[in-house]
Chain A
Amino acid sequence: MDKIIVRGLNLWYGDFPALINVNADFKEKKITAIIGPSGCGKSTMLRVFNRMNDLIEGVRVTGEVDIDGTNAVSPEADLIYLRRKVGMVFQRPNPFPLSIYENIAFGLKIHGIERNADALAGVIEESLRRVLLWDDLKDKLKRSALRLSLEQKQRLCIARLLAVKSDVLLMDEPCSTLDPQATERIEELMRELKNNYTIVVVTHNMQQAARVSDETGFMLLGEMVEFAATREIFTAPKDKRTEDYITGRYG
């Protein structure tokens, strides 16, 4: 099953074309990695899926991004619903400067999902359990989230999405600020989450792409050069440019 179907997607920052005729199918409940050299448009691509590019002035988009049967890039798309469904984890963990509890309650409150205090606490516990933070933090829920370690912060940011029942998780270099052990643990969590979520992860780290993803897209200068099963991309790339990149020729 394809969760996100991208057809003829173009995006311009002013006059600069950042995405050029991109076509790709992201499979449901799989991890898809997007790799490519710096500036090739990976983040831009992710930010199309939850329309975060709308925050930037002078962005123009054409084409189609079909998520569950609705076109996410159409001007009529319901952004609030879209962003609730398609959650995003940022490169630098960005918990709100509120308590751990409030960080997760935030999404539930703004969407009016849970108002009852007991039910709220239940959802918060479940979300924290799923990202393996509950045991460490259950007595510290009133503490500021800014006092957590980087890894804990990133987990909390993931928990925030689970609480509002997102079903697509966009992750833009989610481990780039973490140490190798923490990275490994987050990758473990991603594998676990893929049972229920469709994950799209942007990464600079080709080993990471090879380790966690089922499918991989390679981008270059705004184009989706090759998009296929990860094993295929890394062992038998069809495009010369993909081969050059994974053998380290672009650096």
Chain B
Amino acid sequence: MRKFKEFIIEKLILICGSASIFFVALIFVFLLKEGLSLFKTVRLGAFLFGKSWYPISEPAELGILPLILGSLLVTAGAAVISVPIGVGCAVYIAEIAPGKVKEVLKGGIELLAAIPSVVLGFIGMVTLVPWVKNIFHLPTGLTALSGSIMLAFMAMPTIVSIAEDALYSVPRSYKEGAFALGATHWQTIWRVLLPAASSGILAAVMLGIGRVIGETMAVMMITGNSAVIPHTILAPVRTLTATVAAEMGEAVVGSEHYFALFAVGIVLFVISFAINVTADLFLHRERR
């Protein structure tokens, strides 16, 4: 009887496991099938490097270069802001903060991670956007910079918690060795702990960026949604994700526009996948 129970449970778990793989495969196949259909009529080069995105004009222009650049710009901006702050925060939590402060900070970071992105987007819209507009004397505060700042908040929890783990897992003996040679706390952090944790910290950065590049809601609300190649970070942009979210509802099923949005999905998928694989490589290198 017990054996039978074990058997059933084992099979159930197996089914759950295979189901998740099956669904992933299904999504992937669907995405590929719809997305690749675009390339019956549009060349890959024209799609990836085309400079204009006018999906509903006649004939439609389906170049996603402005969208790719928009995504990259917002993401790069977010990385520039969140990486130093996030890693600094992780160092502070792991090495410097006294017990109580550490708990409060970690709680705060978890809370930040729990804020739904639409709420962050909304807060950004009513606070950040007017600031950016006034500080830089712009016609509109809906810019790539606003998006970057907002996304930095979203990347931060991931970066802080993973970088902090990486710092914690540095063997204590390294620290003792550095102190025993007369190093100050800061010298120990800078010259020993950070290099020792570098692969984990890189993984943290990659995963933080991965989170940012797939983010949709907040960027749609505050980056201005203009599909033009941006020349500065103070220009409005439109990202890959925002494009899909905004246009999927109105695209006619089976139209070129519709297929193009799926193809955008594939591009996003490839970028995210590459980032995650890189992060994974760093994490594994650390374990070895």
Contact = CB atoms under 8 A, between A and B. Distances in A.
Interface of A: 50, 52, 55, 79-84, 87-88, 90, 92, 94-98, 106-107, 109-111, 157, 160-161, 164
A90 B173 CA distance: 9
A50 B177 CA distance: 12
Interface stretch (B181-189, B227-235, B272-280): B181-189
B180 A96 contact: no
Nearest to A160: B181
B22 interface: no
Interface of B: 171, 173-174, 176-184, 187, 191-192, 195-196
Contacts of A50: 180
Contacts of B187: 110
Question: Which 10 residue pairs across A and B have the least CB separation, nearest first?
Answer: A83-B182, A94-B173, A84-B182, A88-B180, A94-B177, A80-B182, A97-B196, A107-B181, A110-B187, A110-B183
Given A96-B192, A97-B196, A98-B195, A164 B181 contact: yes
Contact of A87 (B178, B180, B192): B180
Contact of B174 (A52, A96, A111): A96
A161 to B, nearest CB: 7
Contacts of A52: 176, 179-180
Contact of B178 (A82, A92, A106, A161): A106
Chain B CB count within 10 A is highest, among A96, A111, A157, for A96
Main secondary structure of the interface of A (DSSP, over half): helix
B176 A106 contact: no
A157 B176 contact: no
A55 B180 CA distance: 10
Contacts of A84: 181-182
B192 A111 contact: no
B173 A164 contact: no
A97 B182 contact: no
Contact of A94 (B174, B182, B184, B195): B174
Contacts of B176: 52, 55, 90, 94
In this complex, which of B177, B184, B191 has the most chain A Cβ atoms within 10 angstroms of its Cβ? B177
A90 B177 contact: yes
A92 B179 contact: no
A87 B183 CA distance: 12
A53 to B, nearest CB: 11
Contacts of B192: 96-98, 106
B195 A55 contact: no
8 contacts: A55-B176, A79-B182, A82-B182, A87-B181, A97-B195, A106-B181, A110-B182, A111-B182
A50 B182 CA distance: 9
Contacts of A55: 176, 179
A94 B178 CA distance: 10
Given A83-B181, A87-B181, A96-B195, 9 more contacts: A79-B182, A92-B173, A97-B195, A98-B195, A106-B183, A110-B183, A110-B184, A110-B191, A161-B181
B231 to A, nearest CB: 42
B54 to A, nearest CB: 53
B209 to A, nearest CB: 25
Given A92-B173, A96-B177, A164 B191 contact: no
B196 A96 contact: yes
Contacts of B174: 94, 96-97
A106 B187 CA distance: 10
A20 B174 CA distance: 30
Most buried by A among B177, B180, B192, B196: B180
Contacts of B173: 90, 92, 94
A83 B179 contact: yes
Contacts of B180: 50, 52, 83, 87-88, 90
A107 B176 CA distance: 13
Contacts of A82: 182
Contacts of B183: 106, 110
Nearest to A164: B181
Contacts of A88: 180
A109 B182 CA distance: 11
A84 to B, nearest CB: 4
